[in-house]
Amino acid sequence: MCGIIGISGQKNVFPDLHAGLLALQHRGQDAAGIVTFNKSFKLKKGLGMVSHVFRERHVPRLAGNMGLGHVRYATQGVNEELDAQPMAVNYPLGIAMVHNGNVTNFNQLRRSLYQENHRLVQTSCDVELILYALAAELETKNLAHVSVDEIFECVAAVQAKVQGAYSVIALIANVGMVAFTDPRGIRPLVMGQRYDDAGPAYAFASETNVFDYLGFETLRDVEAGEAVFIDMDRQVHTRTCFKKNPAFCVFEYIYFALEDSVLHGRTVAGERVRMSRPLARTFAATGLEPDIVIDVPSSAYFFASGMAETVDAPYRRGLVKNPHMGRSFISPDQESRERVVRQKLNPIKDVIAGKKIAVVDDSIVRGTTSRHIVRMLREAGAKEVYFVSASPPFQYPCVYGIDMSIKREMIAAKYSVEQIARYMGAETVVYQKLEDLQELYKDLPCCFACFSGEYPTELTSSELDEIEQERVCSKNK
């Protein structure tokens, strides 16, 4: 999972790109980068957080009235500066690109790009494949004057070839900015507008919270298989290029997106409260009566507070989060995740001691972090601990850009709920029911593959094995 932003305006966009990446930092902490265009591409990227990569000395060099930004959380390949985004090529046109997602036919595309177009993919980052695929399509057009129709034709050809999940923003030098999604719209992409003194500015981003910080009006989501092209005169052109049955990633609502973002017309905070209702009914069916309901900060707050209202138990803040620590889910290995949890969470003993506690988290993947949280609550004096997961059991790997781990590490793929509770040291574990989650989203087609194993895209068993093996190799490096 990554965060992307692109802005086309009439004044220097670097300050807005930088601020936008800070608003998207929760989506990736491995690397960050910005590219701007002013007669030529100006690029700066590196490993680490946004605040670590960019310094005041970079500001003058990165001035431009169009630009892209990216924060990376590595899912495909390893975390090296070579794989950081944005990426750019100079032939047949200057093209810079950022993306969020995961290409599932990576190896097939890499071979065909070399055999058919003589383009050698040098990194393990998916965006290089999409970048070269778009460049190869543009190469067949009249480069002296690429028309709007030709831009959309090239995008449609890329969407037909590139399988998986992706939201993409590309800068084409002296032509314009184009943003597009995969045919099923699995990964989020939203569009915004702002009127400056010099004229209109347009922006694309992974989440709408970026627009709130930058003073942009949110216009809409970029839909499944759609492309939006902003030409050099800031004229907007749209077309549905290559669309299949939509399947938006439901985990955006559960965990990745921030609570103040709006995706497909739904505020993330409100969606988490909605999900808490059936979760509370499932919990109530156990007959357990907690003294208090607490959350694992901060993505589980609306799940826990909403559930507390339904089960008629008071919500309390029982764990304090250190705001200077990153998100444990997107830390690169288990040792790092446990270190982050130890450093970022601290129980409030006066709230916990002697209580029967329902502790709500957004999910349980490996179970080791959840086990550590239960241990902390026990040490703080909890009488009983009921661990509640706002998402159903993870039993299948996500191949669309969320590194939920390889299947053999997913605790629910190997053990029963009772065995998981014993491992975690909790009295019981309660999961959201998959059928309840699917019922909530019957009016918004979503991807539930990590819970059900039903992948919405064309995915062969060999491709699935290749993705799994690649992740195994990455973990061993």
Confidence class of residue 472 from pLDDT cuts 50, 70 and 90?
A: low
pLDDT reported for residue 404: 60
Query: What is the rounded average pLDDT for all residues in the chain?
Result: 91
pLDDT reported for residue 471: 61
- Do 118 and 170 belong together in one domain? yes
Termini Cα distance of the chain: 20
Residues pairing with 356 in the sheet: 384
Domain boundary among 191, 215, 247: 247
Predicted confidence (pLDDT) at residue 477 exceeds the cutoff of 80 = no
Predicted confidence (pLDDT) at residue 342 exceeds the cutoff of 90 = no
Q: What burial class does residue 317 get, using C-beta atoms within 10 Å of its C-beta: 0-12 exposed, 13-18 middle, 19+ buried?
A: middle
Predicted confidence (pLDDT) at residue 88 exceeds the cutoff of 80 = yes
Domain boundary among 218, 247, 276: 247
pLDDT in tens, 243-256: 999 999 999 999 99
Residues pairing with 102 in the sheet: 165
3-state SS, one letter per residue, for 349-400: HHHHCCCEEEEEECCCCCCHHHHHHHHHHHHCCCCEEEEEECCCCCCCCCCC
- Do 207 and 296 belong together in one domain? no
**Alpha carbons 336 and 344: distance in angstroms, whole number:** 12
Domain boundary among 191, 216, 247: 247
- Do 216 and 280 belong together in one domain? no
- Do 47 and 160 belong together in one domain? yes
* Residue 236 counted as domain residue: yes
Can you give the residue range of the structural domain that contains 189?
3-247
pLDDT in tens, 369-393: 999 999 999 999 999 999 999 999 9
Predicted confidence (pLDDT) at residue 443 exceeds the cutoff of 80 = yes
Cβ atoms of residues 20 and 213 within 8 Å: yes
- Do 230 and 328 belong together in one domain? no
- Which of the following is catalytic: 2, 125, 249, 398? 2
* Residue 405 counted as domain residue: yes
Q: Does 266 or 465 have the greater pLDDT score?
A: 266
Predicted confidence (pLDDT) at residue 316 exceeds the cutoff of 80 = yes
Reference 99, options 162, 166, 146; nearest CA is: 166
Cβ neighbour number for residue 311 with a 10 Å cutoff: 18
**Alpha carbons 259 and 282: distance in angstroms, whole number:** 24
Average pLDDT of span 311-335: 74
**Alpha carbons 48 and 2: distance in angstroms, whole number:** 13
pLDDT reported for residue 329: 52
* Residue 343 counted as domain residue: yes
Reference 112, options 170, 157, 174; nearest CA is: 157
Percent of the chain exceeding pLDDT 90 equals 77
pLDDT in tens, 102-118: 999 988 888 888 777 77
CATH of the domain at 15: 3.60.20.10
- Do 272 and 208 belong together in one domain? no
* Residue 465 counted as domain residue: no
pLDDT reported for residue 473: 59
CATH of the domain at 356: 3.40.50.2020
Phi-psi category of 401—alpha, beta or left, where left has phi over 0 and alpha has psi -120 to 50? left
- Do 88 and 237 belong together in one domain? yes
- Do 125 and 34 belong together in one domain? yes
- Do 279 and 226 belong together in one domain? no
Predicted confidence (pLDDT) at residue 403 exceeds the cutoff of 70 = no
* Residue 455 counted as domain residue: no
pLDDT reported for residue 75: 53
pLDDT reported for residue 476: 53
Predicted confidence (pLDDT) at residue 356 exceeds the cutoff of 70 = yes
Residues pairing with 357 in the sheet: 292, 385
pLDDT in tens, 161-189: 999 999 999 999 999 999 999 999 999 99
Phi, psi at residue 205, to the nearest 5°?
A: -155, 165
Place of tokens 């919990």: 283
Encoded tokens for 4: 């992307």
Cβ atoms of residues 211 and 19 within 8 Å: no
* Residue 258 counted as domain residue: no
Clarify whether 2 is annotated catalytic. yes
Number of domains into which the chain is organized: 2
- Do 314 and 240 belong together in one domain? no
Confidence class of residue 336 from pLDDT cuts 50, 70 and 90?
A: low
- Do 201 and 279 belong together in one domain? no
- Do 170 and 234 belong together in one domain? yes
Percent of the chain exceeding pLDDT 70 equals 92
Q: Does 184 or 122 have the greater pLDDT score?
A: 184
Q: What burial class does residue 142 get, using C-beta atoms within 10 Å of its C-beta: 0-12 exposed, 13-18 middle, 19+ buried?
A: exposed
* Residue 71 counted as domain residue: yes
* Residue 474 counted as domain residue: no
Predicted confidence (pLDDT) at residue 82 exceeds the cutoff of 80 = yes
pLDDT reported for residue 401: 81
pLDDT reported for residue 411: 95
Predicted confidence (pLDDT) at residue 204 exceeds the cutoff of 80 = yes
Residues pairing with 7 in the sheet: 67, 203
